[in-house]
Chain A
């Protein structure tokens, strides 16, 4: 059997394989150079970038849960200017798609960051973080209802010619509505899902473990929830889906692809095993080969029933 074709296109963006790393779990990519070749990955998604550096939330910021973890980092990041000046030039040495995740507290902040990234050399796409559950202003406020998500998407769409992905929050009544709003305002793709809001209480101290009280749940615990949302969104919009939520292995990635994702992001697994994303790439090639599938594109939305429109 010939080597399977792993390449995919997310809208106009061609990726050598469908495996990216999720924002907030992969730093700015460079932190992983001791462990892997970035060129092995379809792409990387940066830590959320804001107009100015952000310090993030006070500790405690993380706690492990059953098959998952809860985090409330609060988008600590170097800011878009430092990213462009210090990180991006080094990332240009690697043959991978650099997707810049963008965060703002106001619409004009989102627009400002998108504009700066648009002018920079080496950004393949922008992913709008309208779904961070751990910041007081911005983030999930914009992602919670279709109208405000549509407005922010429209404003950013005008600010950049780069492919625009909108990362959806699962903390909504019906994720199909926010997906449709993103599509209607010109998003090239939707990525889903961000973390689920949750809390862990220390029963001895009788207070929440996290200083932020609540945090975002990620890891294998959320995978069935995220797979189902991918399935639902596939049937609601025509733009490509980048799926994520607890992907630890190639088999998990195949689940999302069969449910309708064109590409996937590996997140929490990067903390557990710094080579997790490249292991998923290798495992995916092996899976396709074992199952005599010539191209991963044949699997997108190929689960029985996934293509039917509701």
Chain B
């Protein structure tokens, strides 16, 4: 894989092309971002605002689909997946084709495939934390690589894009809090089972989801000696490194807590062993 190349951040007025309710409170929104889409990496993100709204700050959204990720995606368009939760996402869900978005991106450091082709790639997603994985799975396919997935949510209805993932991953192990799909419980149960498989070989984990889930995944992975990249989320005002609002505590090689690093520019993807949670 090519070395890191950070594309120029752009501030766009981008038209909404499609905004679809995909069930369970989740929506998939497609907008035009021709220049940005070419160079963006999975798990990089946008700060998105709605011009003219009374919401002051833009909100961070991970890129879900890049050109080629979804068969019906339009040329020069990207997709974000979001869950209607607060004022901002409610407003977003009210927008139809032609509405304009104020989009800053691409921002942050994205996922890169593990350098060793021997490592088996395992994706761990919690709820709307599945958002960065479609673009990543597509990028892996282009390199001739496959991923296994562990996918958790509160209930079956909230497992966004489940059939999409099932068609494209070597396996998808599902866990739901209420047992309505897959095993009852958290993603850490199927993850622990996978890590305990005799002769499983080298693994590399990528996880995205609520912070308590990421902490649990990191703990299990580190205990098993498995490398793990986490795509973090935090409230942020700017998205480009100046507000210092989105920090997480990190540690040095010796394990001592050393600093607060910014999720927006030092992340959102960080190695699990660097976090001083």
Contact = CB atoms under 8 A, between A and B. Distances in A.
Interface stretch (B23-31, B50-58, B220-228): B50-58
Q: Which of B11, B58, B236, B260 has the most CB of A within 10 A?
A: B260
Size class of the A contact interface (CB-based, 8 Å): 20 to 34
Given A69-B57, A219-B56, A275-B11, A61 B247 contact: yes
B48 to A, nearest CB: 12
Contact of B54 (A67, A76, A272): A67
Contacts of A89: none
Contacts of A62: 235-237, 243, 245-246
B133 interface: no
Interface residues of B, number: 27
Interface string A202-245: 00000000000000000110000000000000000000000000
A104 B104 CA distance: 35
B236 A31 contact: no
A67 B56 contact: yes
B8 interface: yes
Interface string A166-183: 000000000000000000
A69 B241 contact: no
A25 interface: yes
Contacts of B238: 270-271, 274
B234 interface: yes
Given A55-B259, A55-B260, A35 B11 contact: yes
Q: Which of B49, B243, B248 has the most CB of A within 10 A?
A: B243
Contacts of A25: 242-243
A86 to B, nearest CB: 15
Interface in A37-75: 55-56, 58-64, 67-69, 71, 73
B249 interface: yes
A31 B260 contact: no
Interface in B254-272: 259-260
A300 to B, nearest CB: 29
A108 interface: no
Contacts of A58: 249, 260
B248 A59 contact: yes
A73 B247 CA distance: 9
Contacts of A76: 244, 247, 260
A185 to B, nearest CB: 31
Nearest to A221: B56
B11 A271 contact: no
A56 B262 CA distance: 12
B52 to A, nearest CB: 13
Contacts of A3: none
Closest 3 pairs (CB-CB, A-B): A62-B245, A271-B238, A271-B237
25 contacts: A25-B242, A25-B243, A26-B242, A31-B240, A31-B241, A35-B11, A55-B259, A56-B247, A56-B260, A59-B260, A60-B235, A61-B247, A62-B235, A64-B56, A64-B57, A64-B235, A67-B56, A71-B245, A73-B243, A76-B260, A268-B237, A270-B238, A271-B242, A272-B56, A272-B57
